[in-house]
Amino acid sequence: MYKFDFVAPRSPEDAVAQLRDRGPGGKLLAGGTDLLLQTKARLVKPAYLVDLSHLPELERLDRRPGEGLWIGAMVRARAIQQSPLFQDGYRLIADGAGLIGSIQIRNLATVGGNLCNAAPSADVAPPLIAAGARAEILGPEGARSVPLDEFFLGPRRTVLGPSELLLGVWIPEPAPNSGGHYLRHTPRKEMDIAVVGVASAITLDGDRCAEVRIVLGAVAPTPVRATKAEAALRGQTVSLEAIDHAARLAAEDARPISDVRGNADFRRHLVEVLGRRTLTVAWNTAKLGVANR
């Protein structure tokens, strides 16, 4: 083991000040499920750790009807999985959070950690992007807001500056008659990372698709929107045939690599399969809202 400093800030502003004043080499410690393993494996060697575990401002989970949902960066995956706030159009976020590791891991793992680790296979990122989330960031120059689909720059890389902190994510209130779903494929049921993940969200206007977002994980350096598939479905009457067509186009939007967990062709096939399944569930959920008007 090597030596490093341990810092316990009193507030998010204090955490930012510590990062600014201490300079390069620091790491933010949230749940630690990724960082501590990376540190033990010598993949990262922090000069100091800034512990975020005693900042209640980052643990807030709050849904305001008509406005949206706030998820603090330190909210645990297990809390999202179990919270009654994640119903209606927010259900797909709980789908993703409930797939992270085991129950023990989910009791530690945080939303902020899952996002800032910026693994292409992260299970929370695609559902949040599909739900239209924005990353709320605090830095030495103040606060700023970034659409979550612009937050990721590559594996382990985000738009966060060296002295910036992710406060949490803000998700707008789902439109009426909306539905969403997230699925992934893994060799094992638990304790594995996604070979492919797909999140889909649909809003209906009668039988017509008023809005759709399809987000792919583990098939590119960052989560990616399946824009061709979205364009083909948006404004059209939704049917199983239209969903099949969109799922095939989503596979064309993927940019997968071949590795020990699956080759590129297999991953494209999975995008089509999971795209079809998630779009169908999202569509059926949205239709319940139309039927209940």
Q: Residue 241 and residue 207: Cα distance in Å, rounded? A: 14
Q: What is the pLDDT of residue 290?
A: 54
How much is the pLDDT for 257? 86
CATH code assigned to 194-288:
3.30.390.50
- Is 243:287 a contact under the CB 8 Å cutoff? no
> For residue 121, what pLDDT is reported?
93
- The answer to whether 192 touches 186, Cβ cutoff 8 Å, is yes
Helix (H) / strand (E) containing 145 = strand 142-147
Going from N- to C-terminal start, the domains of the chain cover: 59-172, 194-288
Residues ≥6 apart with Cβ < 8 Å to 153: 118, 159, 222
- Number of Cβ within 10 Å of residue 76's Cβ equals 22
User: How far, in whole angstroms, is CA 262 from its chain's centroid?
Assistant: 22
- The whole-angstrom separation of Cα 214 and Cα 233 is 10
Residue 76: closest CA among 33, 43, 25, 40: 33
Question: Residue 259 has what pLDDT?
Answer: 86
Token pair for residue 90? 């927010």
Phi/psi for 164 (5° steps) reads: -105, 155
Please give the full DSSP string across the chain, using - where no structure is assigned: ----EEE--SSHHHHHHHHHHH-TTEEEESS-TTHHHHHHTTS---SEEEE-TT-GGGG-EEEETTTEEEEETT-BHHHHHH-TTS-GGGHHHHHHHTTSS-HHHHTT-BHHHHHHTT-TT-SSHHHHHHTT-EEEEEETTEEEEEEGGGTEEETTEES--TT-EEEEEEEEPPPSSEEEEEEEE-SSSSS---SEEEEEEEEEETTEEEEEEEEEESSSSS-EE-HHHHHHHTTSBP-HHHHHHHHHHHHHH-----BTTB-HHHHHHHHHHHHHHHHHHHHHHHHHHHHT-
pTM of the model: 0.94
Residues of the chain under the 70 pLDDT cut: 1, 190-191, 289-293
Q: Does domain 59-172 have CATH number 3.30.465.10?
A: yes
